[in-house]
Amino acid sequence: METMMVAWMLDSLLGLGLLWLAWRCLACPNLFKAIVLFVAFGLLMALAWVRLEAPDVALAEAAIGAGLTGALLMVALAQLQSIETNGDAAGATEKEERGIRPLQWLLLIVLPLIATGLGYIILSFPPDAPGLSTAVATHLEASGVSNPVTAVLLNFRGYDTLLELIVLLLALLGVWSLGGTVPQQAATPAPLVLETLTRLLVPVLILTAAYLLWVGAHAPGGAFQAGSVLAAAGVLLLLIGRHPRAALMALPLRLILVLGPATFLVIAVVTMLIEDALLKLPPEHAGKLILLLETTAMLSIGATLAALFLGGRRHTDKEHS
């Protein structure tokens, strides 16, 4: 009984905290403060997923929401500020602020409608619906892994993951097609503490990525979580000024970027020819095929996220100048 009480208090504190943080984060005029609030929001969100007994989602939120996104937003803000000091952007923002008014009234009408609709849908759910979890549990044996989430993502609905990998690649192509980035302020050599930290942390990050990939077969983990941890290692190296050589940035990087989606596509075509169904993995080889798919996907995801962090194609700028 007491346990229930405390759990209930914990959950309501988490829920209210999330709502409050989301509101503060959106309403905050100071962008840096908003980023810090966003990171805190990511932390609480991961805890909320844990309380909802979805450790897989919590792991992804921890790796992407609280980890990488914070660093990405921080660097974006730094670049934004260097643009603002170069060109005069103050006039433009003032105009935007005036133009928002009618839109706000529209939102005031539309958002409660959406909230009512969503509330109605949630309240009309049957209280104990098993959903598809029984179907997954009965076929788990044939999937080659014992973690139901990995079984769904890589086997039962493998094409979803294939499309997600392609979406990630398209995002990078979008960033690259925007052209060069703001030139970096002269790279100062990383202080000794930072250098040492990176030397210690990067191997640990790579090891953790490999662990998360392996453990994904029977517990929460998998290619996306492992890929983002791997990307964090890359981001750390980029942050202390260890840019890859231009030769590596050209063909080898591209090969790693398409490795995951390409392996997926090859397996999809082969299974189409042999089993007559897209990505229908034969049960006797499913375990090995999933490991292969996840390993290549992890490498591609890690490289894509790190490349997204690097932004536009800086190596071509160097070639021109």
Partner 1 sequence: MQTLYLTLALFLLLTLGAGMWRVLRGPTAADRMLAAQLFGTTAVAVLLLLSQASGNAALRDVALVFALLAAVTAVAFVQRAWPEQEQPQETERDVD
Binding site for partner 1 (CB under 8 A): 2-3, 6-7, 9-10, 13-14, 17, 24, 32-33, 36-37, 39-40, 43-44, 46-47, 50-51, 55, 58-59, 62-63, 66-68, 70-72, 74-75, 77-78, 188, 190-191, 194, 197-198, 201, 204-205, 208, 211-212, 215, 219-221, 225, 229, 232, 235-236, 239-240
Tell me how many degrees the CA angle 277-281-285 measures, rounded to the nearest 5. Answer: 150
Residue-level length of the chain: 321
| R_g (Cα) of the chain, nearest Å | 23
Q: Taking the complex as a whole, how short is the minimal distance between the CB of residue 51 and partner 1, in angstroms?
A: 8
Nearer Cβ to partner 1 (140/219): 219
Q: Taking the complex as a whole, how short is the minimal distance between the CB of residue 276 and partner 1, in angstroms?
A: 36
Nearer Cβ to partner 1 (93/188): 188
Residues whose CB is less than 8 angstroms from the CB of residue 24 and which lie 6 or more positions away in sequence, other chains included: 37
Nearer Cβ to partner 1 (112/191): 191
Nearer Cβ to partner 1 (229/293): 229
Residues whose CB is less than 8 angstroms from the CB of residue 147 and which lie 6 or more positions away in sequence, other chains included: 216, 217, 218, 219, 220, 221, 222
Please check whether residue 228 is in contact with residue 219, taking contact to mean a CB–CB distance below 8 angstroms.
no
- Tokens (6 digits) for 123: 């309240």
Tell me the DSSP string of 126-189.
-TT--TTHHHHHHHGGGGS-S-HHHHIIIIITHHHHHHHHHHHHHHHHHHHHT---PPPP--PP
Q: Taking the complex as a whole, how short is the minimal distance between the CB of residue 274 and partner 1, in angstroms?
A: 35
Q: Taking the complex as a whole, how short is the minimal distance between the CB of residue 253 and partner 1, in angstroms?
A: 21
At 216, is the secondary structure helix, strand, or coil? coil
Q: Taking the complex as a whole, how short is the minimal distance between the CB of residue 50 and partner 1, in angstroms?
A: 6
Unique residue bearing structure tokens 């973690």: 147
Q: Taking the complex as a whole, how short is the minimal distance between the CB of residue 2 and partner 1, in angstroms?
A: 5
Residues whose CB is less than 8 angstroms from the CB of residue 107 and which lie 6 or more positions away in sequence, other chains included: none
Nearer Cβ to partner 1 (133/184): 184
In which element (H, E) is residue 108 found? helix 101-123
- Tokens (6 digits) for 57: 């989602």
Q: Round to whole Å and give the CA distance between 226 and 212.
A: 5
Nearer Cβ to partner 1 (2/128): 2
Nearer Cβ to partner 1 (75/140): 75
Q: Taking the complex as a whole, how short is the minimal distance between the CB of residue 169 and partner 1, in angstroms?
A: 23
Q: Taking the complex as a whole, how short is the minimal distance between the CB of residue 167 and partner 1, in angstroms?
A: 22
Nearer Cβ to partner 1 (2/284): 2
